[in-house]
Amino acid sequence: MRLRVRYGAGALASKAALAVTLAWGQPATAEQVHILALGDSLTQGYGLLESEGFVPQLRAWLAARGHDVRIVNGGVSGDTTAGGLARVEWSLTPEIDAMIVTLGGNDLLRGIDPAVARGNIEGILKVAQAGELEVLLVGMQAPGNYGPDYKAAFEAIYPELAESYGTLLAGNFFDGLMEDGAAPADLDAFMQADGIHPNEDGVARIVETPGPQVEALIAQASE
């Protein structure tokens, strides 16, 4: 868990509470971990009831495994990596211990230069690094319609930046839906009518794949 420096009356109150705790000799208890999920409509839960989206289903998956965690839904529909970079600093409120970054899908839909997307995601990771935040970076699989060079360059963003910045990595947001190399749009039973966003059942399958990495993120943030 990160140590935070507080000032003013809040700091005095915190110090007083700490002194009382030490005086009573009470054992330390695990604190709730606060995670920001920074992303686009896939994170936000586009087209779903609030309880069906990625964040609440991930929270429930973690709670079922005994984790005391609060996940802030920082998903904005239509957001690109540039949008995520523009809002990451004010989204990281003081209580946040770690961050899940799931961005790039809208960059792919718009054919944005992979170098631009890389720069934006790297900017987000620099903000996290400056704040001493643990990060799970979730990758995206590029379609083949922009050509093999574009596909290779875009998909390389995530593992390369994860290695450079020492973050955890989940290979592809849709890995939980992949069966024998099928694309997400082919799995009609798990997708909404637009063929882009998962339905409730699809989200349930998706959550199971990055779940263990999120558990690792919680462990790192709790150290």
194 tagged catalytic? yes
What integer pLDDT is reported at residue 188 of this predicted model?
Answer: 82
162 in Cβ contact with 100 (< 8 Å): no
Q: Which domains does the chain have, with CATH numbers?
A: 31-221 (3.40.50.1110)
197 tagged catalytic? yes
Q: Output the tens digit of pLDDT for each of the chain's 223 residues.
A: 444 433 333 433 443 343 333 334 443 346 899 999 999 999 999 999 999 999 999 999 999 999 999 999 999 999 999 999 999 999 999 999 999 999 999 999 999 999 999 999 999 999 999 999 999 999 999 999 999 999 999 999 999 999 999 999 998 999 988 765 555 556 788 999 988 999 999 999 999 999 999 999 999 999 8
Which listed residue (34, 67, 97, 197) is catalytic?
A: 197
41 tagged catalytic? yes
Which listed residue (41, 67, 97, 107) is catalytic?
A: 41
Question: What's the predicted TM-score (pTM) here?
Answer: 0.83
